[in-house]
Amino acid sequence: MDQLTDFLRQMPKIELHVHLESTITGWLLERFAVRQGRTLPRAPEELYHCSAEDLSDFLGFLDRICSYVGTTADLAEAAEHFSAACREENILYAEAILNPTHWPQFSLPDIISAVTEGFDRGEAAGGADCRFTLSLSRNQTAEEADALVSAMERCRTPRLAGLSIDGNEALSGRTGDRFAPAFARARELGFGLTAHAGESSGPEGVLDALECLKADRIDHGVRAAEDPALLERLAAQRVPLNVCLSSNLALLYRDPREHPLRQLLDVGAAVTLSRDDPMFLGALTLTEELRRAAVFARMSEAELLRCQEIAVDAAFCGEETKAALRAALEAFRSQS
């Protein structure tokens, strides 16, 4: 094992941009399918060999993947498995994104209960401390958004950390005004706010997330680099950008040289690094994602550690949890 990989494996890690729907292994989905009397369309190890060429194709394939999770017990098992898998590579804390539109087989209260149960079991068995945000799709209505926030209020658990929004911005167009009331209400209830922006949209999507949704942090945000004034604002205001290099290179930047990760770091943007959709990226580990980022953007060990510290600051958890995470990072730093 090379020195960089060894450093990254040992480093305490925090992940803030990972979709739970895209963490379920083919072998686990095969088990769920058998329980329903169904079979997967191909072998478990080949299930995620997706031919999606753009975000729309990818989201449609994701719906089919989720259909194999037939019961809330299956969903809880998937959440528990994620917690255990995180801890295996020294991810101490993770916030998974869950979009209920991918799970029409379950009610919102059942989704919240099942994921909470799975994360509770996972941590009790030695897994990572995991929380989750519920995500709106950009093609939903304002009424559906308000209903989601109402369900979050009624069914709130300590694991439910915030409200998110995702989906294909290029197809949906500008949606900030439509969802601003739901985001404002979620903020009043004490939930964290995050938004996918600056991926399939340009800088204008990031501006909408900041000015209409009042998002605490941005998932992706990389295309803000196309607007120097916006990039300067993000850096000055320390708005966290949850960047996913491998995902961006697969779906967004056909020429890797165009990815602005090094530019974001150089201007002092508050960058965190995450996997987005790990199973679709060859069962990508966070350790490997960080190694790729380090090589791609010539990141030092100090910069890699700084990304973890920024993730702690950006996490939707209490100060007691953040203090424990900071202590773990400091202990690692002193030993390195």
User: Domain residue spans in the chain?
Assistant: 3-335
Q: Which helix (H) or strand (E) holds 61?
A: helix 55-66
Q: What is the pLDDT of residue 254?
A: 84
Any catalytic annotation for residue 303? Answer: no
Number of helices (H) and strands (E), helices first, in the chain? 15, 8
* Sign of the CA dihedral with 267 first, then 270, 271, and 277 last: negative
Please identify which of the residues 77, 117, 169, 199 carries the catalytic annotation.
199
Q: What is the pLDDT of residue 246?
A: 96
Q: What are the Cα distances from residue 137, in Å, to 91, 99, 106, 171?
A: 28, 7, 16, 12
Listed residue (328, 293, 301, 299) closest to 312, CA to CA: 328
Q: What is the pLDDT of residue 48?
A: 86
* Sign of the CA dihedral with 288 first, then 294, 93, and 233 last: negative
How many whole angstroms separate alpha carbon 281 and alpha carbon 299? 22
Q: What is the pLDDT of residue 17?
A: 98
Q: What are the Cα distances from residue 291, in Å, to 22, 127, 272?
A: 20, 23, 14
* Whether the Cβ atoms of residue 221 and residue 195 lie closer than 8 Å to each other: no
Listed residue (173, 230, 184) closest to 203, CA to CA: 230
Domain spanning 3-335 has what CATH number? 3.20.20.140
Q: What is the pLDDT of residue 1?
A: 62
Mean pLDDT (10-residue bins), the chain, 336 residues: 92 98 96 94 86 61 89 98 98 98 96 98 98 96 97 98 88 82 98 94 94 97 96 97 96 91 98 96 96 97 98 98 98 93
Q: Count of CB atoms within 10 A of residue 227's CB? A: 17
Q: Report the first-to-last Cα separation within the chain, whole angstroms.
A: 17
Q: What is the pLDDT of residue 200?
A: 81
Q: What is the pLDDT of residue 60?
A: 76
